[in-house]
Structure 1
Amino acid sequence: MRDSVWKWQLVDDIRQIDAATWDDVMQPDTPFNCHSFLCALEQSGCASADSGWLPMHLVLYQQDELVAVLPLYRKLHSYGEYVFDWAWADAYERYQLAYYPKLVTAMPFTPATGVRLGIKQGVDRQTVFSLIIQVLQSELVEHSSWHGLFMTEAESLEWQQASLQPATMRASTDAPTQQARLLPRQGCQYHWHNRQYQSFDDFLEQLTSSKRKNIRKERRQVAEWDYRWRSGSEISAAVWQRFFLCYRMTYLKRSGHGGYLNQAFFQSLSEFMADSVKLLLVCAHGDEDAQAVACALYFHAPDSDTLYGRYWGCLEEYDGLHFETCYYRGIDYCITHQLACFNAGAQGEHKVLRGFEPVITYSWHLIAEPAFEQAISEFCQAEIKQNQTYMLQLVAALPYKQTAS
């Protein structure tokens, strides 16, 4: 797809794209699709060929002006995505077909909904979506599939609309003649919504009596600890080292490996994203920050109405400390700072009983192999129906006196 108007490029290092230009085009709606977060992942080696996340960011030019960017990675596995396709890979293997490498548009290791395709203001969005789809289809010559994960609902609709438009040009002479269709997929996360609560007790008053009592009991169990919020510029190398120890030990206990991210990445956040990083330390009274027994890493970008809870770790297990550090302190932060939403990460049905509500997550997929495309399409449609039923059950289980709307 190269003519006198449009051309595209794959970039294997985000530093080749000017940071201000990336952010101007992307207009980041989360801390995770901004240039600085992705750069921190790449420079630390967390998103690299060695980790199985080879950057191949797609850049679109109009009359030699950069007008669109799509984060893109060549994947050699399915780790760190949180939209699970292991069953698809297993099916390919049974038929002796290669599922890897594949292409993924996502924020590595970060299951947070946000804009995926950044388009410069004033450029025709429908045209850009259509052209980007054609480029991705052409890349299926060398990849089994493309997966766009955790899109916003509005952007998901734009992908759908663009997929229905006829192709305006071939992305390359190598593009397959039978073009893969975009297949929708849905999942579920649990987010807490602030309904103009004035205090944590004000929030609790909206819950049923039994749930309110349970949360108060959980909080009393760990009330003796000293909880300290630190912003990015306040976090020393020693504190980051302590956080990384907590993070790594907790990963080892739960999954048998030390986590996807390294200490260099976390420490770089104080340089790259000081204004967005919020680290919650749990200490004994009188201890230094670097003696914390547990830590939770949050992100809250300036001018954003959402708090993101991302990584947690502890040196010893204490009843109720995870709920307090990762959920209740986050809720309290949102109320104090008048934030609208708290996204505490993927999975965790236990969040529902603590006031987190189910929300739909959206992804789109291109499958190169026609025989598997049909089977995966049927799988996704069945999964969407199951997800709808599941979410209705979760709504019925919400602890509010009257179901929140």
Structure 2
Amino acid sequence: MSLTVTIHDGLADIPAADWDATGAGRNPFTTHRFLLALEQSGSVGKDTGWQPAHLCARQGEVLRGVAPCYAKTNSQGEYIFDHAWADAFQRAGGRYYPKLQCAVPFTPVTGPRLIAPEPEVRRALLAAMMQICRQNGLSGAHVTFCEPDEVADGEAAGFLARKSQQFHWLNDGYASYDDFLAQLSSRKRKDLRKERARAQGFGGTIRQLRGDEILPAHWDAFWRFYQDTGARKWGRPYLTRAFFDLLHQTMRDDCLLVLAERDGQPIAGALNLIGPQAIYGRYWGAIEDHPFLHFELCYHQAIDFAIAHGLSRVEAGAQGEHKLARGYLPVATHSLHWLADPGFHGAVADYLDREGEAMEEQIAVLRDWGPFRRGEPS
């Protein structure tokens, strides 16, 4: 297959239908409309540390594969942490930034990254990443939260595989939340019933909104929640207010907004995106503090929705061992890393071998600590 790989500094010059037809449209976060909203809203681009450098692999005039890529001048908003690598390389006299990142900004969600049905196209995208780094003096290329079958492509191309961990809730064919609770140990089952009752007794109501049920006023309220959480966690929110307006315009049917309201006013909320097989928890915030309300809006309500709509899992974002007690089990996530400096590449390879063994042990131990009566669901 004769392929040409080109670099694009924005999604606007790539037809949406062509981009999504490569397979990018099967995950809400790799769709043209989601990535374009990040760019048009100013959430990525100049002065954000995320400069678009998307790759397109074509056979003649036919788009055969794509990779959402960015030139990064920091390691913020990635959730696969390489700050220690950057520090070590720079103390040794190297320059870690800029680097090339194949990812969805601010989104620790597994999905396609080397987006093409044919292996040779995926290999061409990986080869292009390495060539771009060499030609432009970038320290390396990183493919984060990629799908498991992309790992083999990356390793064959010379990338290093890294394993990380998240907590996901898996739907074992439950007909109701009580069916799920029935699989837990007696103590955990009682704890969650008490937790939900306490959260739902905050003095108001909880609503799940989708599509046209979501009004501009709801986004105004959620923006206040998001700003509060962003200021406490990151110093400043990653996303701009305009992003949520664009999300409403192009993706509101893909959104589930869970709001807690008291006296008719929203006081807390959680935003989820809905995929073909999963619901993805993304952002949360509150302007009032109520016991367990965070767990109710972010975790339990998402489980309710997944059961009601036959979705296979809930992915509730990065980190958080507190999710284990609520039925979210540890699962491996994957990334790929290639460093242009051979010595640095070798040092990171040694580190990843040891880290990978420790991660596998940690996942196994945490699964044994799960709340289920007889281990995890089938």
Shared fold by TM > 0.5?
yes
| Paired position in structure 2 for 1:299 | 273
Q: CA deviation at 1:140?
A: 1.6
Task: Tell me whether 1:198 sits opposite 2:172 in the alignment.
Answer: no
Contact 2:56 2:63 in 1 (8 A): yes
| Paired position in structure 2 for 1:313 | 285
- Equivalent residue in structure 2 for 1:153, among 148, 151, 165: 148
Alpha-carbon distance between aligned partners in 1 of 2:26 and 2:366, rounded to the nearest angstrom: 27
The DSSP-based 3-state class of the residue aligned with 1:366 is strand
Alpha-carbon distance between aligned partners in 2 of 1:133 and 1:23, rounded to the nearest angstrom: 19
The DSSP-based 3-state class of the residue aligned with 2:200 is coil
Report the aligned-residue RMSD: 1.4
Contact 1:28 1:115 in 2 (8 A): no
CA deviation map 1:34-81 (0-9, x unaligned): 101000000001111221100000111112322111110000000000
Runs of 4+ in 1 over 4 A off after TM superposition: none
TM-score by length of 1: 0.89
Task: Tell me whether 1:334 sits opposite 2:306 in the alignment.
Answer: yes
- Equivalent residue in structure 1 for 2:236, among 247, 253, 258: 258
- Equivalent residue in structure 2 for 1:130, among 112, 118, 123: 123
- Equivalent residue in structure 1 for 2:83, among 83, 86, 107: 86
| Paired position in structure 1 for 2:110 | 113
The DSSP-based 3-state class of the residue aligned with 2:162 is strand
Contact 1:26 1:117 in 2 (8 A): no
Q: CA deviation at 1:359?
A: 0.8
Equivalent residues in 2 for 1:178-327, closer than 5 Å = 181-224=158-201, 225-255=204-234, 257-284=235-262, 286-287=263-264, 291-301=265-275, 304-327=276-299
Task: Tell me whether 1:373 sits opposite 2:352 in the alignment.
Answer: no
Alpha-carbon distance between aligned partners in 2 of 1:310 and 1:226, rounded to the nearest angstrom: 21
Q: CA deviation at 1:217?
A: 1.2
Alpha-carbon distance between aligned partners in 2 of 1:343 and 1:117, rounded to the nearest angstrom: 21
Alpha-carbon distance between aligned partners in 1 of 2:274 and 2:124, rounded to the nearest angstrom: 33
Alpha-carbon distance between aligned partners in 2 of 1:355 and 1:222, rounded to the nearest angstrom: 17
Q: CA deviation at 1:221?
A: 1.0
Code of the residue aligned with 1:203 in structure 2: it is: F
Alpha-carbon distance between aligned partners in 1 of 2:30 and 2:93, rounded to the nearest angstrom: 36
Q: CA deviation at 1:281?
A: 0.7
**Higher mean C-alpha displacement, 145-154 vs 218-227:** 218-227
Code of the residue aligned with 1:235 in structure 2: it is: I
Task: Tell me whether 1:60 sits opposite 2:57 in the alignment.
Answer: yes
The DSSP-based 3-state class of the residue aligned with 2:100 is strand
Report sequence identity in percent.
Answer: 39
The DSSP-based 3-state class of the residue aligned with 2:356 is helix
Code of the residue aligned with 2:56 in structure 1: it is: V
Contact 2:5 2:124 in 1 (8 A): no
Q: CA deviation at 1:189?
A: 0.6
Q: CA deviation at 1:198?
A: 1.4
Alpha-carbon distance between aligned partners in 1 of 2:190 and 2:330, rounded to the nearest angstrom: 22
Code of the residue aligned with 1:111 in structure 2: it is: P
TM-score by length of 2: 0.95
Alpha-carbon distance between aligned partners in 1 of 2:213 and 2:245, rounded to the nearest angstrom: 12
Alpha-carbon distance between aligned partners in 1 of 2:186 and 2:326, rounded to the nearest angstrom: 12
The DSSP-based 3-state class of the residue aligned with 1:222 is helix
- Equivalent residue in structure 1 for 2:323, among 351, 370, 374: 351
CA deviation map 1:7-43 (0-9, x unaligned): 2210001011000000001343321011010000000
Alpha-carbon distance between aligned partners in 2 of 1:62 and 1:377, rounded to the nearest angstrom: 34
The DSSP-based 3-state class of the residue aligned with 1:147 is strand
Code of the residue aligned with 1:363 in structure 2: it is: S
Contact 1:293 1:315 in 2 (8 A): yes
| Paired position in structure 1 for 2:369 | 397
Alpha-carbon distance between aligned partners in 1 of 2:3 and 2:363, rounded to the nearest angstrom: 43
The DSSP-based 3-state class of the residue aligned with 2:318 is coil
Give the number of equivalent residue pairs. 373
| Paired position in structure 2 for 1:97 | 94
| Paired position in structure 2 for 1:170 | none
Alpha-carbon distance between aligned partners in 2 of 1:49 and 1:232, rounded to the nearest angstrom: 31
Equivalent residues in 2 for 1:25-36, closer than 5 Å = 25-36=22-33
Alpha-carbon distance between aligned partners in 2 of 1:26 and 1:198, rounded to the nearest angstrom: 31
Code of the residue aligned with 1:193 in structure 2: it is: L
Code of the residue aligned with 2:267 in structure 1: it is: V
Alpha-carbon distance between aligned partners in 2 of 1:160 and 1:91, rounded to the nearest angstrom: 23
Q: CA deviation at 1:252?
A: 2.1
Code of the residue aligned with 2:278 in structure 1: it is: T
Code of the residue aligned with 1:268 in structure 2: it is: L
Alpha-carbon distance between aligned partners in 1 of 2:31 and 2:87, rounded to the nearest angstrom: 34
| Paired position in structure 1 for 2:139 | 144
Contact 1:232 1:269 in 2 (8 A): no
Unaligned runs of 5+ in 1: 164-180
